[in-house]
Amino acid sequence: DPVRRPFRRVMLKLGGEMFGGGQVGVDPAVVKEVARQIAEVAADGVQIGVVIGGGNFFRGAQLSEEGMDRSRSDYMGMLGTVMNCLALQDFLEREHGIDTRVQTAITMGQVAEPYIPRRAIRHLEKGRVVIFGAGVGMPFFSTDTTAAQRALEIHAEVVLMAKAVDGVYDRDPRVFPDATMFAEITHREVLERGLQVADATAFSLCMDNSMPIIVFNLLRDGNIARAVAGEDIGTLVHT
């Protein structure tokens, strides 16, 4: 397979909800587990960038439905992602001795570096895991879009979309027990069938720039390593 192969530089997107273990805040047991899976791959010499969502704290769109100004609530959302980044950094460094840098799109020099693409690449080359916080720094965007944009800018070979399901199905598997999962599918077919892989902005960035996406289940132990090794797990979305 020309697309599935052992990757050397990947962008991993984690949802915030997972980090909270279903609650508001950070669940240390979950972060520890995710850090272990990332450390395993990093120790193998794979270069890893990580984007974490903020759904366990604030989603801008939800808060604005309750009357807040959308931009302000989106900034709250971005700040939430930074807390997740710091938690992951802590577990990677303290438990696993993996050098890690957090770079944020909103400057906050006391807790993280600013996002500097060339420096991020340098960190990756030195074997450091780079965690990108505060989204792209702009309201009305998402962390899916951040993962796509950062993947393109740092020349990652693939976006690994970690989910709580095994991959992309032709129908909602929670509603239709006979739904079937795609082993691979093209970006175009995802659009034509109206399937949900990432939000529209993130997805079109990937499609327009031929960035492959692997949607996979993070809850199965060792799946990050399998995806990175080019094994046949989850759904590969490609050009």
Residues that bind ligand UDP (CB under 6 A): 15-17, 53-55, 59-61, 74, 77-78, 81, 135-136, 138-139, 141-144, 146
Q: What is the spatial distance between Cα 102 and Cα 49, in angstroms, rounded to a whole number?
A: 10
Q: Residue ranges for the binding site?
A: 13-16, 54-55, 59, 74, 136-143, 169, 172
Q: What is the spatial distance between Cα 20 and Cα 239, in angstroms, rounded to a whole number?
A: 34
Task: DSSP letter for 8, please.
Answer: S
Nearer to ligand UDP, 6 or 117 (CB): 117
Closest distance to ligand UDP from the beta carbon of 135 (Å): 2
Structure tokens at 111: 């807790």
163 within 8 A of 235, measured Cβ to Cβ: no
Closest distance to ligand UDP from the beta carbon of 159 (Å): 13
Nearer to ligand UDP, 141 or 182 (CB): 141
Nearer to ligand UDP, 186 or 217 (CB): 217
Closest distance to ligand UDP from the beta carbon of 79 (Å): 8
Q: Residue ranges for the binding site for UMP?
A: 54, 74, 136-143
Q: Are strands 184-186 and 47-52 parallel, antiparallel or unpaired?
A: unpaired
Nearer to ligand UDP, 7 or 141 (CB): 141
Q: Residue ranges for the binding site for ATP?
A: 13-16, 55, 59, 169, 172
Can you list the positions of beta strands (E) in the chain?
9-14, 47-52, 100-104, 113-114, 129-133, 158-163, 184-186, 213-217, 235-238
Nearer to ligand UDP, 4 or 198 (CB): 198
Closest distance to ligand UDP from the beta carbon of 141 (Å): 3
Q: In angstroms, what CA-CA distances link 43 with 5, 39, 160?
A: 18, 6, 18
Residue whose beta carbon is closest to ligand UDP: 53
Number of Cβ atoms within 10 Å of the Cβ of 177:
7
Nearer to ligand UDP, 47 or 84 (CB): 84
Number of Cβ atoms within 10 Å of the Cβ of 140:
12
What number of H helices and E strands is found in the chain? 9, 9
Closest distance to ligand UDP from the beta carbon of 180 (Å): 26
Closest distance to ligand UDP from the beta carbon of 57 (Å): 7
Q: Which of 148, 138, 151 is nearest to 201 (CA)?
A: 148
